[in-house]
Structure 1
Amino acid sequence: MSTLAGLFAPDRVAVVGATEREGSVGRAVTENLLDRFDGAVIPVNPKRETVLGTPCVASVAEADPDMAVVAVPPGAVLDVVRECGEAGVQNVVVLTAGFGETGAEGADRERQLRGVAAEYDLNVVGPNSLGVMSSPVGLNATFGPDAPPEGGVSFMSQSGAFVTAVVDWAADAGLGFKDVVSLGNKAVLDETDFVRAWGNDPDTDVVVGYLESIVDGRAFVDAARETTDDTPVVVVKSGRTDAGAQAASSHTGAIAGSDRAYEAGLDAAGVLRAESVQELFDAARALAGGDVPESNGVAVVTNAGGPGVMATDAVGDAERLSLASFTDETVDRLAEELPDEANVYNPVDVIGDAPVERFRTAIDIALEDPNVGAAVVITAPTATLDFGELGEAIAESTDDHGVPTAACLMGGGRLEDARQVLRERGIPSYFDPARAVGGLESLAEYREVRGRSYPDPEPVDADRERVREILETVEDRSDNRLGVEAMEILDAYGVPTPEGAVVDDPAEAQAVAEDIGEEVVMKIVSPDILHKSDIGGVKVGVPVDEVDDAYEDLIARARNYQPDATILGVQVQEMLDLDAGVETIVGSHRDPQFGPLVMFGLGGVFVEIMEDTTFRLAPVGSDAAKEMTEDIDAAPLLRGARGRDPVDIDGVTDAVRRVSQLVADFPSIVELDVNPLVATPDGVRAVDLRLTVDPEELEQ
């Protein structure tokens, strides 16, 4: 794939399908280009000599463009794109719909389009795209009604309608854009390509996106990690459903769903995730300024007590921010400069009659405090303020002290002068105090992202050949699930398991129990009976001399419950003291976009009810695995809550790391549960195992 510069800064743009017909896409995009574009616009239509007063040519080759915008019927698109390739036109934007979104015929047409693009190494946007825009050169190669104001935000959207709505809103909101692309069906270029391109663009301050899907999750992660070193990326991801979990047969698969995979993938990519369109662009406003707070302490300066309290509450609710504690020197200086009625502690209330000078003095003193990393300045309309001057004061103070500041201008038209000044000076402003704090939270989150390192996971010694042999046993079975009969897989990867074995007759069960030498746990082993305890398929604390009878009873229970079930035998296992430990779960689910995810959380029989779990992309190293043990609500249990001894966290971390490497090494493992992984002060043991294998992956 060549550089994408030609998509956003072409010298010559051809519109294939240009026409003067009212209401047509070909006319709309031609008009938009002729209206503002700095370069040459060449209509391509063999049936006309001119379009909208501009000379027309009969072919793409005759136009000799840097970029072609294609607005012809679906059946003609492939020929036009091939003509672009033969003419050496590398950048093509296909506006035409009627491809993969329409059914089998359209999907086949899209596959052919992808093939032509690959043959000629073309940069193709779409099909079914609104088009592309780039403000610095006046490029509006879309059939939308408006172009955005110029700025430092580059924006991609999987919805063309969303682009038109955002562009229309941006004109009133004063948010400026550098490049805009409607991704369409993403037949060739997708979100990964644009994240990478904008990461290398010095004029893009922040990348934002509306995404419904990600084509290649791992490639996106790699591209975003490189980009977020210097350029923040924020996306809103729609489609928060658990549809992906409907066919899952493991606890992990049932919990993972589609959204948990995206959550883990975006986190691994260093991408900030917005929960709404408002959050997306609130974050964009803050991040476009470029500065991040050096610390999490926030100062609030206001002329209205109620909004100051609202901002204080929002800071308290924020994950990364805290209300700054002023030094004694700061408090004394504020007391000297402000009226007696003012509040000199954080939040600072300069009271309602404050003129601009008092506001500026309070802001300066607050921003000079060493405990302040960011600030919110709030104002409500009063007769004592010149709002244009207030905007200048906020901007100057921010520049003088280098402390990121968000303004909260709680009013309408009276405050427009202040908003305009702040827009010009790159200071984000909001109406709601909570939104102003949310903007600062985005800055704090990006500071964490920018400071991240992504070390490779430590190598894991494992008997991979033995694992492959065990997984291949599903080829001789009627189903593709393995259970405790495959516990040797965990042994092969160094995950501790209790002493025991799976046996298929009472005498062998007795012998295994005698080797263990104490009371044992016995479980029915059947791929068709997933919840063994529900049918009485588990016996705990079986004395050695009762093992043979317990074996017969377990087999009988299984036969009565499900006569046609495949019974592989009974597992006889060393009994662990569960009261001395914590039941956790380590699992994996293979996501179509992001590949294997590893899960850790509170385990046992309530795992799907509590859902106290966290996910990462596999494989993970020791640091990431340890973070997972800290992310769950039950983390205090692992560390010795209520007088309990802390469990062996290093052992838990090591087990998570090893399981994550196992599923990364073997793409044939679709789902996997180690539940419970019992963690005690003396170590960990994997008590039960369930996994699903994809036989087709085994053959690759």
Structure 2
Amino acid sequence: MINEQLLNPKSIVVVGGSDDVQKPGGKVLKNLIDGNFKGNLYVANPKLDEVQGIKSYKNPQDLPEVDCAILAIAAKFCPQTIELLAKEKNTRAFIILSAGFSEENEEGAELERQIVETVNSVGGALIGPNCVGVLNSNYNGVFTTPIPSLDPKGCDFISGSGATAVFIMESGVPKGLSFSSVYSVGNSAQMGVEEILKYMDESYDPETSSSVKLLYIENIDKPEMLLKHASSLIRKGCKIAAIKSGSSEAGSRAASSHTGALASPDVAVNALFKKAGIVRCSGRDELATVASIFMHPELKGKNIAVITHAGGPAVMLTDSLSNNGLDVPHIEGPKSDALLEKLYAGSSVANPIDFLATGTAQQLGDIIDACENDFDNIDAMAVVFGSPGLFPVYDVYDLLDEKMKQCKKPIYPILPSVINVKDEIEHFLAKGRINFPDEVVFGDALAKVYNTPKPEAENIVIPEVDKKAIRAIIDEADNGYLAPEKIHALLDAAGIDRSKEGVIDTVEAAKEMAKEIGYPMVMKVVGPVHKSDVGGVVLNVMNEETVVAEFERLIKIQDTYAVMMCSQHKGTEVFIGAKREDKFGHMVLCGLGGIFIEVFKDVKAALAPISTEEAHEMIRGLQSYGIIKGIRGQEPVNEEKFADAVSRVAALMTVAPEIFEMDLNPLLGSKDAVVAVDARIRIEKEM
């Protein structure tokens, strides 16, 4: 795992170092030299006595003791070289740039296993293989460019892809984004993104550590570790943004429930990121833009002043902000009038605040001061200022820098003229500032940052359930769908309200059940997946004659082996489902129920366990929330009871992880109750 020899080695050997800087072994050595590595630098190369002016050892056996080894040799030679270094040269940190391991074939995977075993046996740290290396303020242990400006308060960046790490840095550096460290984990043989983040959490110091973490993830192998340490870092004051690639699924998966059809690995990723408070990004430019926003003071409210000397970008930015839940509020009143008097004729301060192409640095300063001090309905400022190339704008950008130092409200500089005023922008960035060259990319990213919730509390309070009763049912159950009576017992043990019901398979039993339940009632088939599609649901059964006739009809429907009879409730149909997702645990989903879930697919998902507060957030995040609240005289759904049921389903999942899928569809929600009237539970135990 991460150790001092990896972070701050006193000596480094490049195994496979070369004079050819177009090869990884040559380039990483050049980067180490150019970065003025302060420790002892060695090379192991079987053909040369000196490489790029550094002493080279033809036989690694002749090397002195060395803290860190960077390997750029063929995969087949790596295990024996690492064995030598670890056991005889006291080497405790290894960065393997070489490819040809588990990403290629089983033979490569076996080489990788041998290496990990050796490194673990001496308590060492391994990055890679198949990576571009490690970069921090102590050494440039990468074979790529660019080597970004390193700043202790810049971004810590962990990437599962070396090439993508390069491209993301190339997106961020021209904007002025700085970095504190870069880890390219490659195949993650010993340490992946999760382990590096775990170290950053456990070693976090608010005075010295970077408070911005960026992640590029291709596979989440340890979601529980990622959730724990990402949320912990964010609670400590950090901000985290991530790309999780590979979100689409080719083709459709066969699903036996509504939940199975709607729940996917990518839904689980979204749920994990939301629970942790991670801002999920979809591409490199968005990730770099979100990181740049993180470098500014935190946005405390959603009201933005758009300050511009060009109409088009202001309109596009306003659209972006407004369409994503932020506001560009109207500005008016005496203080607005006083500001307008300081601007040229034709200017507007209504918001967007347009002070025309001829606007001056002084006028921009007046506008910023008014937004900072006079307009209480403004939480932040986005300043769009480019140039048609007629005159330099150093004075504007210098003023912008000064105002950013003075103001408590965030100021976001959008400087789109990256060619016309290239020199002025470089002058601005040299002050440690960041540019957002595209107003729409910025607007979308700002809204995403603002709309990402804070992480869930470390200790989630969940409802009490009857664990003993639940385990007794689950332990006795076989794989497959539970019988209705077992489902009823589970719901009762979890404290989930359900309709009064029973399952019968004879006419006489149907008559007795009708007397027990009372009228009106519902009758439905047991067996077919989609009961409505086969005519297997009968509502408003009011007498024994109908009970007999409908039983005889229903029992003959294909795949039916029994008939369920239950008391009939009225209300809005809602839905709760759960599905076990590999490595992530259980996802719980909620939304409108009945056929609406299939048509609208309007659901929200979260990972169990779920507090009632998080359940409320899920419900309120539904597009159909207006229906749940009650609209145009329609009776609302009792949100407290709906949220409680969501939380209880999640609690059931934690006690009974053998539940693979569960559908409560529908539950009928009224102002007084939320009652499950149909349920399916599928058990899948590991064999």
Instruction: Sort the Cα spacing of 1:510 and 1:267 in 2 relative to 1 into closer, same or farther, 3 A.
Output: same
After superposing the two structures, state which structure 1 stretch, 498-507 or 231-240, moved more.
498-507
Kindly indicate whether residue 616 of structure 2 is the aligned counterpart of residue 614 of structure 1: no
Letter in 2 for 1:365: A
Residues 1:524 and 2:525 are matched in the alignment: yes
- What are the residue-to-residue correspondences of 1:239-638 with 2, within 5 Å? 239-242=246-249, 246-289=253-296, 291-319=297-325, 321-326=326-331, 328-369=333-374, 370-382=376-388, 386-441=392-447, 444-445=450-451, 449=454, 454=457, 456-475=459-478, 480-482=480-482, 484-485=484-485, 486-526=487-527, 529-542=528-541, 543-558=543-558, 562=559, 568-577=561-570, 581-638=571-628
Q: What is the SS of the residue equivalent to 2:412?
A: strand
The aligned counterpart of 1:132 is 134
Once the two structures are TM-superposed, the CA of residue 28 in structure 1 deviates from its matched residue by: 2.9
Q: In structure 1, how many angstroms separate the alpha carbons of the residues matched to 2:314 and 2:658?
A: 56
Matched residue type, 1:59: P
| Inter-partner Cα distance in structure 1 for 2:2 and 2:434 | 36
Matched position secondary structure for 1:414: coil
Helix, strand or coil at the partner of 1:413 = coil
Aligned residues of 2:389 and 2:421 also touching (Cα < 8 A) = no
Residue 77 in structure 1 maps to residue 78 in structure 2:
yes
Distance 1:104 1:504 in 2: 55
1:156 to 155, 158, 166: 158
How far did residue 530 of structure 1 move? 1.5
TM superposition shift of 1:324: 3.9
Q: 1:205 to 1:470 in 2, by over 3 A?
A: closer
What is the one-letter code of the residue matched to 1:102?
E
Match of 2:240 among 233, 253, 276: 233
Q: 1:166 to 1:685 in 2, by over 3 A?
A: closer
Amino acid at match of 1:143: F
Pair 1:153–1:506, CA change in 2 (3 A): same
Percent of aligned positions that are identical: 28
Deviation at 1:473, TM superposition (A): 4.6
Counterpart of 1:70, as a letter, is L
| CA-CA distance at 1:2 after TM superposition | 4.5
- The one-letter code of the counterpart of 2:567 is E
Tell me the matched-pair count. Answer: 674
Equivalent residue of 2:595, what SS?
helix
CA distance in 2, matches of 1:54, 1:274: 43
User: Which amino acid in structure 2 is aligned with residue 465 of structure 1?
Assistant: K
Match of 1:689 in 2: 679
Q: Do 1:18 and 1:44's aligned partners in 2 also have CA atoms closer than 8 Å?
A: yes
Cα pair 1:243 1:257 within 8 Å, conserved: no
- 1:92 corresponding residue in structure 2: 94
Contact 1:675 1:686 in 2 (8 A): yes
User: What is the SS of the residue equivalent to 1:658?
Assistant: helix
Q: TM-score, normalised by structure 1?
A: 0.90
Q: Distance in 2 between matches of 1:7 and 1:394?
A: 40
1:24-48 deviation per Cα after TM superposition (whole angstroms, max 9, x unaligned): 4333322332232423321134564
Q: Whole-Å Cα distance in 1 between the matches of residues 65 and 147 of structure 2? A: 26
Higher helix share goes to which structure? 1
Q: What's the offset of the Cα at 1:424? A: 3.0
CA pair 536-345 structure 1, distance change in 2 beyond 3 A = closer
Q: Can you give the 5+ residue segments of structure 1 that lack an aligned partner in the other structure?
A: none
CA RMSD of aligned residues (A): 2.6
Give, in whole Å, the separation in 1 of the partners of 2:300 and 2:185: 36
Q: Secondary structure at the match of 1:233?
A: strand
**Paired residue type of 1:694:** E
Aligned equivalent of 2:9: 10
Question: Which piece of structure 1 moves more, 253-262 or 428-437?
Answer: 428-437
Q: Which of 662, 671, 681 pairs up with 1:672?
A: 662
Amino acid aligned to 2:534: I
Contact 1:338–1:350 (Cα < 8 Å) also in 2: yes
Cα distance in 1 between the residues matched to 2:518 and 2:309 = 77
Unaligned runs of 5+ in 2: none
Residue 655 of structure 1 and its aligned partner are, at CA, apart by: 0.7
1:59-78 map, 5 Å = 59=60, 62-78=63-79
1:480 Cα offset (Å): 1.8
Secondary structure at the residue paired with 1:178? strand
**C-alpha contact (below 8 Å) 1:32/1:143 kept by paired residues:** yes
How much has 1:142 moved relative to structure 2?
2.3
Q: What CA distance in whole angstroms lies between the structure 1 residues aligned with 2:514 and 2:85? A: 75
The structural deviation recorded for 1:334 is 0.5
In the alignment, the residues of structure 2 paired with residue 689 and residue 117 of structure 1 have an alpha-carbon distance, to the nearest angstrom, of 51
Residue deviations 1:612-664 (CA, integer Å, cap 9, x gap): 10001111111111111111111111111111122211111111110011112
Q: Residues of 2 paired with 1:279 and 1:69: CA distance?
A: 32
Contact 1:671 1:693 in 2 (8 A): yes
For 2:394, the aligned partner's letter is: G
For residues 174-222 of structure 1, give each alpha carbon's deviation from its aligned partner in whole angstroms, at most 9, with x where no partner exists. 3322211212111221112232444526342421122222121111011
Q: 1:425 to 1:47 in 2, by over 3 A?
A: closer
| One-letter amino acid of the structure 1 residue matched with residue 564 of structure 2 | Q
Residue identity in the other structure for 1:381: S
**Are positions 1:655 and 2:645 aligned together?**
yes
Letter in 2 for 1:81: I
Q: In the alignment, residue 252 of structure 1 is paired with which amino acid?
A: T
Does the residue aligned with 2:248 lie in a helix, a strand or coil?
coil
Is the 1:585–1:676 Cα contact (8 Å) retained in structure 2?
yes
Q: Which of 106, 109, 125 is equivalent to 2:108?
A: 106
- Cα–Cα, structure 1 residues 480 and 410, in superposed 2: closer, same or farther, change >3 Å? same
- Contact 2:171–2:284 at 8 Å: present in 1 too? no
Task: Please state if 1:186 is matched with 2:188.
Answer: yes
Q: CA deviation at 1:287?
A: 1.2
Decide which of 227, 230, 233 is 1:224's aligned counterpart.
230
Q: Which amino acid counterpart does residue 461 of structure 1 have in structure 2?
A: E
Which residue identity is paired with 1:493?
A
Q: In structure 2, what is the Cα distance between the partners aligned to 1:15 and 1:669?
A: 51
From the superposition, tell whether residues 664 and 63 of structure 1 become closer, same or farther in structure 2 (CA, over 3 Å).
Answer: farther
Counterpart mapping for 1:19-58 below 5 A: 19-20=18-19, 24-39=23-38, 40-45=40-45, 48-57=48-57, 58=59
User: 1:225, CA displacement in angstroms?
Assistant: 0.9
Amino acid at match of 2:566: Q
State the 1:586 CA deviation: 0.6
Amino acid at match of 1:463: D
Is the Cα–Cα contact under 8 Å of residues 600 and 613 in structure 1 kept in the other structure? yes
Amino acid at match of 1:510: K
